[in-house]
Structure 1
Amino acid sequence: AEAMRLTKARTKREVVDQALRELVNGRKKPDIREFRGMNLIDPDYDYKKLRAGRSR
């Protein structure tokens, strides 16, 4: 009942289908630990400079 309320699913089957889709999608995402030591972040990247150019 709680899962149906949280997902706004109309049937138990919809809840199970959605749960399985989320499980599979979560397993497809790469493990962030695999990127350790790959130097993917630019050392000259300055987020403060980029934010200063934006107005809210």
Structure 2
Amino acid sequence: TVKRGKPMVTSLNVDTALLQEAIELTGETAIENLVEIALRAYIQRLKQMKILELFGTIDYEENYDYKQQRNIA
């Protein structure tokens, strides 16, 4: 389980049009929640991109039988 950190008080200058669009898309009107939602989505996307970078980097043995490997457990 990941523990949530303590909230950090900060001042942000955010484009009003972006905030309005986020409010319309999410239904969320609290700016603090919108920022948190955006940060979580951004972090998730970055993690997904790191996983995609691994695609094709694993070399298997020439006669690797993945079906047999599944039946071992």
CA RMSD of aligned residues (A): 2.2
1:22 offset after TM fit, Å? Answer: 0.5
Q: For this pair of structures, how many residues does the alignment match?
A: 40
Q: Which moved more, 1:14-23 or 1:29-38?
A: 29-38
Distance 2:39 2:57 in 1: 33
Deviation at 1:18, TM superposition (A): 0.2
Shift of 1:8: 1.1
Q: Counterparts in 2 of 1:14-29, with a 5 A limit? A: 14-29=33-48
Superposed, 1:1-56 pairs within 5 Å as 1-29=20-48, 30-36=50-56, 38=58
Q: Give the aligned residue type for 1:10.
A: T
Deviation of the 1:24 alpha carbon: 0.9
> Paired residue for 2:3?
none
- For 1:28, give the aligned amino acid: K
Kindly, what percent of the aligned residue pairs are identical?
25
Any stretches of 5+ residues in structure 2 without a counterpart? 1-19, 61-73
* TM-aligned CA deviation for residue 19 of structure 1: 0.2
Provide the TM-score with structure 2 as the length reference: 0.42
